[in-house]
A and B are shown apart, each in its own frame.
Chain A
Amino acid sequence: MSQPKIERSLGQKVFRVLSGFEIAVVCFILLFLLTFFGTWEQQYLGLYQAIDKYFDIDSLFVVPRNEHDKIIFLPLPGTYWVIVVLSINMFCGGIVRMRKGWRTAAVLVSHFAILFMLVAGAVSSIAKKEGLMMVYQGEKSDYAQSYHSSDIEVFAYDEKGDRTAPTVISSGELEPLRNEDTLHVDLPEFPFELEVTGYLGASSMALAKNDPERAKNHKVIDGYFIHEVERSTTQEENMPGCYVTVSKGDEVYELMLSNLNPQPISFVIDGTRYGMLLTRKLWPMPFEVELNKTVGDYYPGTRKARWFQSDVTKVTDGNREDYEIIMNHPMRHGGFTLYQARWDKPQGRPFSGFAIVRNPSDRWPEWAFYISTAALFTHFLTMLSLYIMRSTRKSSKAVS
């Protein structure tokens, strides 16, 4: 006798689809392919660009390509969004729909923990901020800079010759520019307009008189020009450059910006001096870090790092707190985490590079991990014990 057909509402049907193994399996296949191609392409794109292409929240579709830019696979949905779908599936199927009982308890817990980890990842991708703070011993700093994104900053000088708060043209607007593109920038706070042209993501700056042959094919401003260089797979090594036209009525300045030049260039409009520079994105900190002492140690006779340690004082609104930051032992305080990321001693002056991260979900994966590990081990050992007991029962039956 056949089973009577169960009438399901639309909501129930949708829920069944969302919670089914089908979606899980398809997601795993897609994630596998995306992770593989996202890894493979890092050889020629570099880590940063491959992450941007495959794993960024803005990446809706991905077309895997080889080093010669030829398509090597079908387009795939972006990793972030596949994970979103998988998370929904895990919640609906792995928690809500799943049979509840002692056999499945451990799996339920581990599904929950993994889901929590994925949520932590989502929060991190949206809310996490990170940068690098470089400080010499005996000096202090109150800002960090991005490893690889550069902004154009425009500011006015006040009557004391100090800079005023800069207006920031974000890297988000600059990075998509191709060399032949033009970006018109309206700056409501300033009496002039800007036009960004000739943007190069990886460039070098040269003096025209030192390289006249190459200079012939490039725009020379104040004796300098920028030219394209081979993009490094290490994104931090790529220095952008561009040309900027500042205009107010008939007054026009042709300027050139390069990330290689840490100091601003200037121009005067209506009796006010303005400065402009292209620099790694700046992240002001709500505290100062004073680097009192930093020690770096290499294994004798090698350049292999043995030990890096920094003794710092964190100053927040006048409150001073001393900390020790050591490799693998970061300083966590007030939502910020400082890691000992770099160390060197050029010309005998030691400096430290602190990676600063603010991530609301910093410890979530760790908590989720301990929960899921306990659950997974419990489940595995339970299954193994059941299997052994069944095998023992079978052999004793066979004997009797």
Chain B
Amino acid sequence: MRIPALLTLVAALFTSCHESERSISVSETRELTLFDQKYPGNIKDYPPLTWRRIHGTEMRIVNYLAGPEDSVEIFMGISQGGVLPNSNRWLGQFGKDPAADLTAFTEIQVLGREAYLVEASGDLAAGMGNPAKPDQGLIGFVRKSGEDVITLKMTGPAADVAAQKEAFLAYATSLEFVDLHIIPAP
């Protein structure tokens, strides 16, 4: 009986050694690989230092917070539908009339082709689980990409969004396609 009891005690001692607070020092690094050069949607971005990247989702492949108290949100998505319907949907969120065609929007060059800048401000209607909000602003672009569209949308309090417009435009026009993991054509 002594031996099993001793074994049990030893086992108990071993299994009870758990520290709830520990300190470690880490300097081990690893080599860079293609993993570090893979970007969502194969789009590499260059955000301003004042923008903070947070978690994305399936709908928001890139997601930033900016402005005072992180009041401004900037997110990129790849979705279906045409450029005009998506642009008009954004306008509709602010109660604006839909545009008849794309000439109603400013054209900018994003990722090597034309994209259309949408700007709106006012009362934002409720939607996507969010309540209605007054005095909001939106700046975004919609760019055709094959059968889909690439969208980049910045929303938040109108004044904060306006303050980020320059940074937004610089960010949008700096985007580039990077697909280092694609086998180059011979």
Contacts and interface: CB of A to CB of B under 8 A. Distances in A.
A–B contact at 8 Å CB threshold (below):
yes
Interface of A: 60-63, 74-75, 138-143, 153, 155, 161-170, 173, 176, 178, 180-189, 205, 207, 209-210, 222-224, 256, 258, 261, 263-268, 271, 273, 275, 282, 284-285, 288, 290-292
Contact of A258 (B4, B8, B55): B55
Contacts of A264: 53
Nearest to B53: A266
Given A139-B182, A222-B65, A181 B32 contact: no
B30 A182 contact: no
A265 B7 CA distance: 48
Given A266-B52, A275-B53, A282-B35, A141 B181 contact: yes
A130 B61 CA distance: 30
A60 B14 CA distance: 9
Interface string B23-64: 111111111111111001000111101101111110001100
A209 B8 contact: no
A245 B22 CA distance: 15
A184 B23 contact: yes
Given A168-B29, A207-B57, 6 more contacts: A74-B7, A183-B22, A183-B23, A284-B33, A288-B34, A292-B183
Given A139-B182, A184-B23, A222-B70, A61 B10 contact: yes
Given A165-B31, A256-B55, A186 B11 contact: no
B15 interface: yes
B116 to A, nearest CB: 25
A180 B40 CA distance: 34
B130 interface: yes
Nearest to A268: B49
B181 to A, nearest CB: 5
A162 B37 contact: yes
B49 A163 contact: no
B112 interface: no
Interface string B1-19: 0001001101100110011
B44 A143 contact: no
A30 to B, nearest CB: 12
B20 interface: yes
**9 nearest A-B pairs in the assembled complex, by CB-CB distance:** A75-B11, A266-B53, A143-B33, A184-B23, A222-B54, A186-B25, A284-B31, A61-B11, A163-B36
B56 A267 contact: no
B81 interface: no
Contacts, number: 149
A167 B55 contact: no
Contacts of B65: 222
Contact of B55 (A170, A188, A224): A224
B32 A163 contact: yes
A268 B18 CA distance: 34
Nearest to A253: B52
B30 A181 contact: no
B181 A188 contact: no
Nearest to A177: B22
A161 B46 contact: yes
B29 A165 contact: yes
Nearest to A205: B55
Contacts of B11: 61-63, 75
B97 interface: no
A37 to B, nearest CB: 14
Contacts of A164: 32
A187 B55 CA distance: 23
B129 interface: yes
Given A75-B7, A261-B55, A273 B49 contact: yes
A222 B19 CA distance: 30
A323 to B, nearest CB: 15
B33 A282 contact: yes
B21 interface: yes
Given A182-B20, A222-B70, A290-B183, A75 B10 contact: yes
B21 A182 contact: yes
A354 to B, nearest CB: 14
A329 B22 CA distance: 46
A64 B103 CA distance: 73
B30 A161 contact: no
B55 to A, nearest CB: 5
A185 B34 contact: no
Nearest to B30: A168
B34 A61 contact: no
Nearest to A59: B14
